């Protein structure tokens, strides 16, 4: 072997050892490239909650790749890899729809909705190839990278705990609720001694030259958590419980600690289902607005949208703001029986609010009703049953006319510019009333009672003998829908079969290769000559014990990975993992 080849080999061995050393003890937010013999290429994996997980390729481009490669100490990214097999990925898909600016030092600090929230399967795991520079250049200019920062966090924590050299006092004051003899509130105080060099990274502490103290007013219940909050600024580590989360989130918001605020905001999604009265969800929404936490705000609004029907029946409904109601009405992921239910709910809210809601606000809210999506047979009831028809006569007349025209004419015959099929009013929400959905409930079944049996399944071209498992309740269901909710398509009937494929054996019986199990499948069983403008964006609703929707999943190629399979994490938790599955057919005219 030539001296040059030996040098190259030694260089690659050294690089490999350096990267191996750095990955011995992964830390929260670390990334790695996995599944390739080339150290500069592989599937992107990120470390969170004690385990490695992958990243979906949705919305991923070179900007995100650059962040990953620089985090791994490569000069930059060379390319993004989509669809390459880097071997089995047993962990969860931690990140989806991530959006980086390109200046971030860690992938986990980019914008994303929530850890584990995804509609992807592992087939969509993203990979990258990082730049390494030429071998000749690298050999001559190679610098051995040492990274001993793993102990830095603990060292800084010890400095804070000891108080040695501290030069900035934080006086924490909290009202007890009692009044002194002069009528002022009684206050309790505690003092924390910190270091300007640490706090100077956070301008809102005002730890500048010439200033050696600051007074902070917080509630008495939050005072016990303030020391841990200051210690976090040194270590970037903190144990947060649900009882302390609100206090720490408020502190992070007050002092501009963005990443801490966003990560704790994501934790609130775990407690949103706890209150069936919806008072907590509404309070958290108001709090998110006050603290300008967009992630928490979206988590609250989305939960209310997915559980809109229960929300409208709750004690909190009549007390919500017009802003919250408007935010819900603009969304297409609102889960409701039909659009008529939305109209009735909004009318009831307006009526119960009385004169406190102006006519303009009423008009704006009613303008969000998607009248063309109201079932045709219920359009006839609007005039006679509406609570607000007379007060907003012109709005109702115009929109009812538009809805009837939608039911009897194609868009090509509607030449008026106001009939734009891209408008939200022509886009469906998630409608669950018959015949648009079917439910498979396996929440009361037990795996040990699996019984393989034979059955005949009739298809268009004879019989197909297959084996399936029964669980006491059927794991598949047949139902029929029109091709679209417009009356123009009422005679074009599609037969749908919904399945929950609970094992790889089930998948193979249907000639399928499932990336993970359980897997949901919703497939048409007959061929109908459809208008080419009709597109099905069907949805799977995962309901916890049939009580609330904890996940909404889209179908890709008739398949939807189920959030209970370890690949995905439900957006909102479900105790005991007792799930009911509702399959929703959702045609759009595009």
Query: Residue 105 is part of a domain; what is its CATH number?
Result: 3.10.250.10
Same domain as 218, residue 113: no
Same domain as 569, residue 438: yes
What is the rounded CA–CA span in Å between residue 23 and residue 361? 56
CB 156 within 8 A of CB 234: yes
Same domain as 198, residue 245: yes
CATH of the domain at 214: 3.30.710.10
Residue range 564-573, pLDDT digits in tens: 545 567 889 8
Indicate the burial class of 504 (C-beta count within 10 angstroms; 0-12, 13-18, 19 or more).
middle
Percent of the chain, pLDDT > 70? 85
Residue range 34-88, pLDDT digits in tens: 999 999 999 999 999 889 999 999 999 999 999 999 999 999 999 999 988 898 8
For helices 359-366 and 339-353, give the axis angle rounded to 10 degrees: 170
Same domain as 76, residue 180: no
Same domain as 84, residue 178: no
Q: Residue 51 domain-assigned?
A: yes
Residue range 278-333, pLDDT digits in tens: 999 999 999 999 999 998 999 999 999 999 999 999 999 999 999 999 999 999 99
Segments forming the whole domain that contains residue 182: 143-257
What is the rounded CA–CA span in Å between residue 583 and residue 586? 10
Q: Residue 113 domain-assigned?
A: yes
User: Facing residues of 524 across strands?
Assistant: 496
Give the pLDDT confidence score for residue 570 in this predicted structure.
83
Q: Omega before 282 cis (within 30°)?
A: no
Q: Residue 21 domain-assigned?
A: no
What is the rounded CA–CA span in Å between residue 341 and residue 80? 46
| Nearest CA-CA partner of 368 in 318, 423, 409 | 423
Q: Please, which residues have CB within 8 angstroms of residue 247's CB and are 6 or more apart in sequence?
A: 218, 219, 221, 222, 225
Give the pLDDT confidence score for residue 410 in this predicted structure.
67
What is the rounded CA–CA span in Å between residue 395 and residue 346? 15
Q: Residue 190 domain-assigned?
A: yes
Question: Which among 199, 229, 257 is the end of a domain?
Answer: 257
Same domain as 430, residue 547: yes
Same domain as 159, residue 205: yes
Q: Residue 497 domain-assigned?
A: yes
What is the rounded CA–CA span in Å between residue 550 and residue 41? 36
- Two structure tokens written together for 436: 């648009």
What's the mean pLDDT when you consider all of the chain? 86
Same domain as 307, residue 175: no
| Nearest CA-CA partner of 125 in 554, 522, 561, 577 | 561
Query: 391: how many CB neighbours lie within 10 A of its CB?
Result: 14
- Two structure tokens written together for 208: 């500048």
Backbone φ, ψ for residue 174 (5° rounding): -140, 135
Q: Per-residue DSSP letters for 89-137? A: --S-EEE-S-B--S--SSGGGSB-S-TT--S--GGGBEEEEE----HHH
Same domain as 229, residue 154: yes
Same domain as 289, residue 211: no
Q: Residue 18 domain-assigned?
A: no
Residue 433 DSSP code: S
Give the pLDDT confidence score for residue 141 in this predicted structure.
53
Q: Residue 70 domain-assigned?
A: yes
Same domain as 60, residue 43: yes
Q: For residue 574, give the 3-state DSSP assignment.
A: coil
What is the rounded CA–CA span in Å between residue 414 and residue 73? 58
What is the rounded CA–CA span in Å between residue 466 and residue 171? 73
What is the rounded CA–CA span in Å between residue 563 and residue 88? 18
Give the pLDDT confidence score for residue 510 in this predicted structure.
87
Same domain as 553, residue 514: yes
Q: Could you tell me how many residues make up the chain?
A: 590
Q: Residue 179 domain-assigned?
A: yes
CB 75 within 8 A of CB 131: yes
395-401 contacts: CB < 8 A, separation 24 or more?
Answer: 395/363, 395/366, 395/367, 399/369, 399/371, 399/425, 400/371
Per-residue pLDDT of the chain (590 residues; tens, 9 = 90+): 444 444 444 444 444 444 444 446 788 899 999 999 999 999 999 999 889 999 999 999 999 999 999 999 999 999 999 988 898 887 899 999 999 999 999 999 999 988 988 888 888 899 999 998 754 444 455 566 677 787 899 999 999 999 999 999 999 999 988 988 888 889 999 999 999 999 999 999 999 888 999 999 999 999 999 999 999 999 999 999 888 999 999 999 999 999 999 899 888 888 899 999 999 999 999 999 999 999 899 999 999 999 999 999 999 999 999 999 999 999 999 999 999 999 999 999 999 998 899 999 999 999 999 999 999 999 989 989 999 999 999 999 999 999 998 888 866 666 666 666 678 898 999 999 999 999 999 876 544 333 333 334 433 333 333 333 333 345 899 999 999 999 988 899 999 999 999 888 889 888 988 877 889 999 999 878 877 888 999 999 999 988 999 999 999 889 998 865 455 678 898 888 889 999 999 999 87
Question: Which among 113, 133, 153 is the end of a domain?
Answer: 133
Domain count, the chain: 5
């Amino acid at each position: 072997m030539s001296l040059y080849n030996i040098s190259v080999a030694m260089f690659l061995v050294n690089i490999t050892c350096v990267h191996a050393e750095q990955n011995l003890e992964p830390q929260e937010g670390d990334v790695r490239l996995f599944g390739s013999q080339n150290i500069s290429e592989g599937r992107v994996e990120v470390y969170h909650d004690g385990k490695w997980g992958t990243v979906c390729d949705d919305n991923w481009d070179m900007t995100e790749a650059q962040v990953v490669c620089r985090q791994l100490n490569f000069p930059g990214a060379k390319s993004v890899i989509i669809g390459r097999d880097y071997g089995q990925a047993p962990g969860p898909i931690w990140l989806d729809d991530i959006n980086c600016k390109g200046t971030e030092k860690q992938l986990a600090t980019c914008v994303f909705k929530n850890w584990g929230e995804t509609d992807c399967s592992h087939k969509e795991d993203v990979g990258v190839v990082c730049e390494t520079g030429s071998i000749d250049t690298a050999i001559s200019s190679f610098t051995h990278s040492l990274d001993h920062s793993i102990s830095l966090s603990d060292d800084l924590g010890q400095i804070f705990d000891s108080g040695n050299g501290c030069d900035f006092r934080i006086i924490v004051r909290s009202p007890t609720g009692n009044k002194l003899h002069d009528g002022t509130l009684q206050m309790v105080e505690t003092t924390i001694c910190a270091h300007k060099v640490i706090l100077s990274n956070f301008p809102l502490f005002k730890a500048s030259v010439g200033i050696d103290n600051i007074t902070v007013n917080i509630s008495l219940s939050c005072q016990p958590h303030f020391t841990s909050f200051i210690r976090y600024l040194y270590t970037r580590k903190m144990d947060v419980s649900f009882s302390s989360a609100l206090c720490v989130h408020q502190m992070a918001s007050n002092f501009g600690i963005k990443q801490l605020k966003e990560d704790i905001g994501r934790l609130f999604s775990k407690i949103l289902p706890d209150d069936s009265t919806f008072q907590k969800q509404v309070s958290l929404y108001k709090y998110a607005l006050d603290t300008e936490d967009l992630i928490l705000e979206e988590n609250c609004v989305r939960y209310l949208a997915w559980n809109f029907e229960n929300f409208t029946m709750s004690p909190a409904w009549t007390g919500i703001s017009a802003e919250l109601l408007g935010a819900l009405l603009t969304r297409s992921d609102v889960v409701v029986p039909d659009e008529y239910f939305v109209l009735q709910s909004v009318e009831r809210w307006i009526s119960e609010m009385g004169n406190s809601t102006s006519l303009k606000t009423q008009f704006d809210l009613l303008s969000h009703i998607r009248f063309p999506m109201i079932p045709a047979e219920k359009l006839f009831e609007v005039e006679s049953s509406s609570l607000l028809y007379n007060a907003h006569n012109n709005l109702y007349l115009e929109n009812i006319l538009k809805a009837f025209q939608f039911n009897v004419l194609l868009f090509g015959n509607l030449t008026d510019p106001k009939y734009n099929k891209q408008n939200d009013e022509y886009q469906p929400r998630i409608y669950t009333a018959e015949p648009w959905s079917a439910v498979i409930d396996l929440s009361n079944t037990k795996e040990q009672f699996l019984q393989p049996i034979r059955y005949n399944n009739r298809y268009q071209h004879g019989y197909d003998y297959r084996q399936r498992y029964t669980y006491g309740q059927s794991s598949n269901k047949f139902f029929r829908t029109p091709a679209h909710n417009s009356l123009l398509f009422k005679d074009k009937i599609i037969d749908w079969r919904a399945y929950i494929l609970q094992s790889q054996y089930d998948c193979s019986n249907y000639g399928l290769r499932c990336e993970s199990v359980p897997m949901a499948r919703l497939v048409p069983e007959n061929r109908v000559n459809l208008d080419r403008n009709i597109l099905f964006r069907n949805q799977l609703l995962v309901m916890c014990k049939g009580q609330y929707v904890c996940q909404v999943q889209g179908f890709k190629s008739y398949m939807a990975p189920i959030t209970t399979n370890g690949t995905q994490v439900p957006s909102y938790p479900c105790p005991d993992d007792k799930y009911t599955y509702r399959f929703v057919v959702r045609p759009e005219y595009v």
